[in-house]
Structure formats: C-alpha cells, structure tokens
Amino acid sequence: MTIDQISVFVENKPGKLVEVIETLGAKGIDLRALSIADTSDFGILRIIVDKPAKALEVLREADCVTSVNKVIAVSVDDTPGSLAKILRLLSDEGISIEYVYAFITHEPGQAFVIIRVEDNDKAIRVLTSKGVKLATSKELYDI
C-alpha cells in the first residue's frame, strides 16, 4: 500500500514557497507532512495532503510544475531506535532508500515515516513480513 506524495518544483527565490503554501490553503487543502530539498536555483517541495487529487489540480492551475510519487508510510513507535529498526530491515534486503522524512501523529507515542525507495513492492513485502504496520492513505489524510 502506497501513499500519493506530490512534488512541487519551487524557484529558490523569496516568496515562492509561501505562494505555493498559500495557494493550497486558499483552496482548503490541509498539509499533513512536508519536506523540502533545495539547490541554488530551485527546491523540491514534497507534500502529503488531505486531498491529493484536488491539490494536484489546484497546483497545476497555478502553473506549478508538479509530479506524483508513490511512497510508503510506516507507523512507528515514537521512541529512540524505531526508525533505525525499519531502515535496517530494508537495508538488510538490499533495498535502496532515496529519502525519508517523519512526523508525529495525534496519537501519543506514535509517528509516521515516509519512505521513498526504488522498489515499493519489495519494500512492502519485506516490511509487512516482519510485522511492520504500514499506514493507509486514509489514516494520513484524516489526521
């Protein structure tokens, strides 16, 4: 089970990031998680939102360059070492991790980790076979 993550290419200039965030907010789209990586010319804003299809439509109408990636969302205990255990399972199976970001939930002691890997199907098989709880899109969108 994967989650839709929207990537938005944002010029690395003052005000450009806030324009994207304001555009989403003005249309009632709520951010669930975000990560941004930048270069000297542009940034890649990666977001999980409550209404991904609507967000994609809104962003494209605003002339934003976007893409959608399938990522894995893992529910973990919010304790030291929990993320390392998940990453070790993937590493031991030779699964390459492209990037990771995490956020806490409203549930005390719980967090979600978003993982982008080269092979979602293999990663999902490995994680579920080891009893790792994957988060559903509904769980993330309804936070």
CATH of the domain at 49: 3.30.2130.10
Average pLDDT over residues 109-114: 92
Q: Range of 59's domain?
A: 3-69
Q: Could you read off the pLDDT of 64-79 as tens digits, one per residue?
A: 999 999 999 999 998 9
Number of domains in the chain: 2
Query: Is residue 122 predicted with pLDDT exceeding 90?
Result: yes
pLDDT confidence bin for 132, thresholds 50/70/90: very high
* pLDDT over 90 (residue 141): no
Do both 82 and 107 map to the same domain? yes
- Does position 105 have pLDDT exceeding 90, yes or no? no
Residue finishing a domain among 22, 53, 69: 69
State how far the Cα of 138 lies from the Cα of 120, in Å rounded to an integer: 19
**Whether residue 105 sits in one domain with residue 60:** no
Over 90: is that where the pLDDT of 109 sits? no
Same domain, 86 and 137: yes
Which residues, other chains included, contact 103 with Cβ-Cβ below 8 Å and sequence gap of 6+?
A: 32, 33, 111, 112
